[in-house]
Amino acid sequence: MKWKIGCIQMDIAFGNPEKNFTAAEQWFEKAAKEQCSIVVLPELWTTGYDLTRLDEIAHEEGTDVLQFLQEQAKKHKFHIVGGSVAKKVDSGVTNTMYVIDKDGKLVHEYSKLHLFQLMDEHLFLQAGEDEPIFTIDGEKAGSFICYDIRFPEWLRKSVMSGAKALFVVAEWPTPRVDHWRILLQARAIENQCYIIACNRTGADANNEFAGHSMIIDPWGTIISEGGSGEELLIGEIDLHEIDEIRSRIPIFDDRRPNKY
C-alpha cells in the first residue's frame, strides 16, 4: 500500500475556532490539488492552547468538528487524520483525534493519554482511555498526540498489534525542537515503521511552536521535513517496504519480553 501524505503545518488562531475552520478548509483544497491520499492536521487545531476558555470554546461532543471533517473527506476523497480538538463531554474536556476515511466515515477516535503538566494540560483536560490503533485502506496504523512520543512503550504496543505507520499530531514548542526530531527518528528506527508527524507553527502569548513536521521511513531516514513556517508538507510512503526492512534486522524475532 502506497500513501501520499499531506501534513498541514498551519498557524493556529488562538481561541478562534471559526477562523481555524476557514483556514483548514483552504489547506484541504491545497492538499486535494496535490492528490494526497491522507491529510493530517496538528494538535488542538481549532483552539490552540487557550485552555482557560475551554468551557466556552470546546466542541460539544465534537459534533461540529466531526461533521466538518466528514464533509471535507467526502468532498476531496482523501482520508483525514484530524489532528486533535478540545472535545467537551459530561465529565470534562478531552484532547481528541478523529480519523475519517475518504467516504466520510468515522473510523477511529483517540483521546490523548499522556497529559503535559508543564503546559497545565492536567488542570483543564482529562486523559483518554482509548486504544491508539486503527485500520485504514486495510492497513493498521497508530494515533498519538504530542507528549505521547516520550513514552516508547505506548507506541510499541501499537506496532506489536500490527501497526505499520504511526501518526503523531502536536503543538511542540521551538525550544525543544531537537527533542522532537530525535524522538521521532528513534521511534521510527526502534519500531521499524513509518512515522508521520504533523506539528503546528506560529506562536501564542506564551509559546513559540517549532513546525518541522516530518515523514520518516523505517530506517529513520527523513523523507520530508517542514521548516518553521506554514506549509503543506508532502511525502510518499510504501508500506510494503516494512517487511523487507524487518527481515534485514529482525528485532521483533529477537525480543525477550519475558525479561522486561
The CATH number of the domain where 22 resides is what?
3.60.110.10
Check: CB of residue 27 under 8 Å from CB of residue 10: yes
For the purposes of burial, counting CB atoms within 10 Å of the CB of 118, is it exposed (0-12), middle (13-18) or buried (19 or more)?
exposed
Query: Is there a catalytic annotation at residue 146?
Result: yes
pLDDT at position 241? 95
pLDDT at position 210? 98
Place of cell 501499537: 158
Which pLDDT tens digit goes with each residue over 13-25? 999 999 999 999 9
Average pLDDT over residues 89-94: 95
Which pLDDT tens digit goes with each residue over 41-63? 999 999 999 999 999 999 999 99
All three cell numbers of 121, joined, read 494540560
All three cell numbers of 227, joined, read 521548516
Total domains in the chain come to 1
Given 36, 88, 109, 112, which residue is catalytic? Answer: 112
Structural domain that includes position 26: 2-259
Given 7, 36, 146, 193, which residue is catalytic? Answer: 146
How far lies 8's CA from each of 82, 106, 214, 245, in Å? 10, 20, 11, 29
Q: Which of 55, 4, 13, 46 is nearest to 169 (CA)?
A: 46
Given 7, 36, 43, 109, which residue is catalytic? Answer: 43
User: Taking the model in full, what pTM does it have?
Assistant: 0.98
Which pLDDT tens digit goes with each residue over 177-220? 999 999 999 999 999 999 999 999 999 999 999 999 999 999 99
Average of per-residue pLDDT values in the chain: 97
Query: Is there a catalytic annotation at residue 112?
Result: yes
Alpha carbon distance 166, 133 (integer Å): 9
pLDDT above 90 coverage of the chain, percent? 99
Query: Is there a catalytic annotation at residue 43?
Result: yes
Q: Which of 117, 21, 129, 31 is nearest to 75 (CA)?
A: 31
